[in-house]
Amino acid sequence: MTQPDFHTRRSVAQVEEGTQLAPKFDRDGLLPCITTDAQSGELLMLGWMDADALRRTLCTGEAHYFSRARGCLWHKGASSGLVQQVVEARIDDDQDALWLRVRVAGSGASCHVGYRSCFYRAVPLRAEAGAPLVFTESRKTFEPQEVYGDAPTPTRL
């Protein structure tokens, strides 16, 4: 696989104003990745990438993440069929966060719980302490049990 050159971070001007890709991974070797639907603009998920996942994403045009729950490379959609085709990738000012605009295959969902977006609950503002979250999607796009079977949930307490 051809590897995109990740440049060494040498100066603030280079990182912020330059045209060299010089990503900053955190101390676990990970970079947060925001993924939105390229057509609707809807926020789908926040994932994490290590250098390998980032290289594979940029080389193949399909979103790859690092699964923190399973501790391994995660080709999104490999088990669910909900592959994310990358329409555009962007890096932020200090190059420690990525944004992918994607087209999702199949039902268009990106959330392992079965909703379209992982962000399916609103948090009340200026509310009483303990005010309940409000669901913003009324139904699931798939039943996780049918897609993932008995695979363990990635959610950690």
Binding site for a second copy (CB under 8 A): 2-5, 7, 9-12, 15-21, 24, 32, 34, 36, 41-43, 45-46, 58-61, 86, 88-94, 97-99, 111-113, 115, 118-136, 153-157
Residue 151, φ and ψ in degrees, nearest 5: -60, 140
Are 144 and 154 a contacting pair, CB within 8 Å? no
Is 100 in contact with 86 (CB distance < 8 Å)? yes
Q: Calculate the alpha carbon distances from 157 to 30, 95, 153 in Å.
A: 20, 29, 11
Nearer to a second copy, 138 or 155 (CB): 155
DSSP 157: -
| CB nearer a second copy, residue 106 or residue 121 | 121
- What's the min distance (Å) between Cβ of 70 and a second copy? 14
How many Å apart are CA 64 and CA 89, to the nearest integer?
Answer: 12
**3 state DSSP class of 17:** helix
Q: Residue holding tokens 């909703």?
A: 115
Q: At its nearest, how many Å lie between a second copy and the CB of residue 15?
A: 6
CB of 99 vs a second copy, minimal distance in Å: 5
Of 81 and 124, which CB lies nearer to a second copy in the complex structure?
124
CB closer to a second copy out of 79 and 136: 136
Minimum CB distance to a second copy, residue 112 (Å): 7
